[in-house]
Structure 1
Amino acid sequence: MLLIAGLGNPGPQYARNRHNIGFMAVDEIARRWGFGPERRRFQGLVRAGEIETPQGPVKSLILKPQTFYNDSGHSVGEALGFFKLDPAELVVFYDEIDLAPGRFRMKAGGGAAGNNGIRSITAQVSPYFRRARMGTGHPGHKDLVQGHVLSDFHKAELKWVEPLIAACADAAPLLAAGEDEKYQAEVMRLAPAEKADPRALARGKGD
């Protein structure tokens, strides 16, 4: 079984925030693969389903913690413990300010890099889970980060946000099969984004 968690904040006022791109991605995975209805469990919202792979269907659970972003570990840890899953069976989708907008990178293990949601999950689970990092760019100074991640995507940004979310869902069979490197490559093939300094937009040098 695969536990796919998306990070974000609950409530309509946060729905289009950069911090909620993880929610957006897992919602699209659930929609694309016909998961069941959303219900409350594990201090979050869950949807159960299967993702087809060449080796057969993989049972999967979508989880959107409702504990607020910085305390996501309580919800994720509860679900992982209930199903007695290993951290390697957990994939977390979240916004990454140290990647340029539209870039996508898979990573297993490592530090939190200042992300309080990832720090919370690490404290509850261990650092050895799989991370689907969705680039949203950096505002240019650490004092501007909170305002950046808690602000909505601009209309112009949807030209890369929507294709990236769709690509994460369309390529999901590779994720379910444990082929993280191939999944990353396929997401970037389906939704290409130029390599750039994540702070370039803050300096007016972005596209």
Structure 2
Amino acid sequence: MYIIAGLGNPGKEYAGTRHNAGFAVIDALADKYNIDVDTAKHKGLIGKGIIDGQKVILVKPLTYMNLSGECIREVMDYYKADIDDLIVIFDDISLEPGRLRLRAKGSAGGHNGIKNIIAQLGSDKFKRIKFGVGDKPKEWDLADWVLSRYPKEVEADVENGIKKACDAVACIMNEGIESGMNKYNG
């Protein structure tokens, strides 16, 4: 069984923002595979289902980004999941909008949600899909940037990226992270 967690912030005011890229991918997976992510449990919203014949739990932490690890740790503990079965999807300002970068493990790279997950799990050895949201312009504050919405001219790239991220999740589960990195890290 895989735990697939998309990071974001709860609330309508954050929907569609760059920081909610992980939530957008979870929503797309839920739509594509007919999984209801509507059970409030473990400090998040979860949904159980099947992707390509494999059992999955889709997770949207409701703890706000900086405490995402609390929810993920509770889900992992409750389902006695191994860290090898965790896939985390989150926003990355170092990538162009909609671009993906898959990793088998690694540091938080300055991302507070990932820092908290590493702290809560005591390990950085979990699979991740970084979703490009574009680099912050010099005159912008980082928090304002990641909480802003995409301009019209990149919306198609973002939608394409969401579809690719869904395919990347299935690829990781069926073929492994190395294959996923070869296919999606362009």
Please say whether Structure 1 and Structure 2 have the same fold, judged by a TM-score greater than 0.5: yes
Q: Which residue pairs with 1:24 in the alignment?
A: 24
**For 2:118 and 2:30, how far apart are their aligned partners in 1?**
25
**TM superposition score normalised by structure 2:** 0.92
Contact kept in structure 1, 2:100 and 2:165, CA below 8 Å? no
Q: How many correspondences in the alignment?
A: 185
Q: How far apart are 1:25 and its partner, in Å? A: 0.4
Residue 131 (structure 1) aligned to one of 114, 128, 133? 128
Q: Structure 2 vs 1, CA of residues 178 and 130 (structure 1 numbering), >3 Å: closer, same or farther? A: farther
Q: Residue by residue, what CA displacement relative to the aligned partner does 1:129-160 show, whole Å, maximum 9, x if unpaired?
A: 11100111211449621111011112222110
Please say which of residues 109-118 and 174-183 is displaced more in the overlay: 174-183
* 1:16-63 residue CA offsets vs partner (Å, 9 max, x unmatched): 1100010000111111112135211110001110111xxxx1100000
Counterpart Cα distance in 2 of 1:123 and 1:115: 12
| Structure 2 gap segments, 5+ residues each | none
1:168 maps to 165
Corresponding position of 1:115: 111
Q: Aligned-pair RMSD on alpha carbons?
A: 1.9
Over the matched positions of the two proteins, sequence identity in percent amounts to 36
Distance 1:104 1:171, change over 3 A: closer
TM-score for the superposition, normalised by structure 1: 0.83
SS of match in other structure, 1:48 = strand
| Alpha-carbon offset, residue 172 of structure 1 | 3.6
Once the two structures are overlaid, the 10-residue window that deviates more, 13-22 or 32-41, is 32-41
Within 2, Cα distance between the matches of 1:58 and 1:111?
A: 28
Name the SS for the 1:177 alignment partner: helix
